[in-house]
C-alpha cells in the first residue's frame, strides 16, 4: 500500500470513539480494508455537512468503530 495506508493505524490508534470520514465512492474499498464500514446513521451535525457537500460532489460516509482491527 502507499503512504496514506501506512499512516492510518498510528493516527486512529490514539482516537477514542468512532471515526467518521467522507470520501468519493471509488475510495470506499480502500477505506474498508482499513477497517471502515458504510455509515447508515451519522450524528446530526455530520449528516447536515454531508448533505451540503453532496450537492457539489459524490461522497459516501464511512465509520470506523473504536477497537476495530484490520
Strands (E), the chain: 19-23, 37-38, 60-64
* DSSP H or E run through 25: none
Which pairing describes strands 19-23 and 60-64: parallel, antiparallel, or unpaired?
A: antiparallel
User: What integer pLDDT is reported at residue 69 of this predicted model?
Assistant: 59
pLDDT in tens, 13-53: 566 889 999 999 999 999 999 999 999 899 999 999 999 99
Domain regions of the chain by residue span? 3-64
CA torsion sign, 3 to 69 to 29 to 61?
negative
pTM recorded for the entire structure: 0.75
CB 60: neighbour CB atoms within 10 A? 17
Largest separation between any pair of C-alpha atoms in the chain: 34
Amino acid at each position: 500500500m502507499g503512504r496514506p495506508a501506512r499512516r492510518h493505524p498510528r493516527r486512529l490508534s490514539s482516537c477514542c470513539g468512532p471515526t467518521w470520514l467522507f470520501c468519493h465512492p471509488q475510495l470506499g474499498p480502500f477505506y474498508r480494508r482499513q477497517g471502515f464500514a458504510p455509515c447508515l446513521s451519522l450524528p446530526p451535525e455530520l449528516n447536515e455537512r454531508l448533505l451540503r457537500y453532496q450537492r457539489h460532489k459524490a461522497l459516501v460516509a464511512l465509520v470506523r468503530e473504536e477497537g476495530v482491527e484490520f
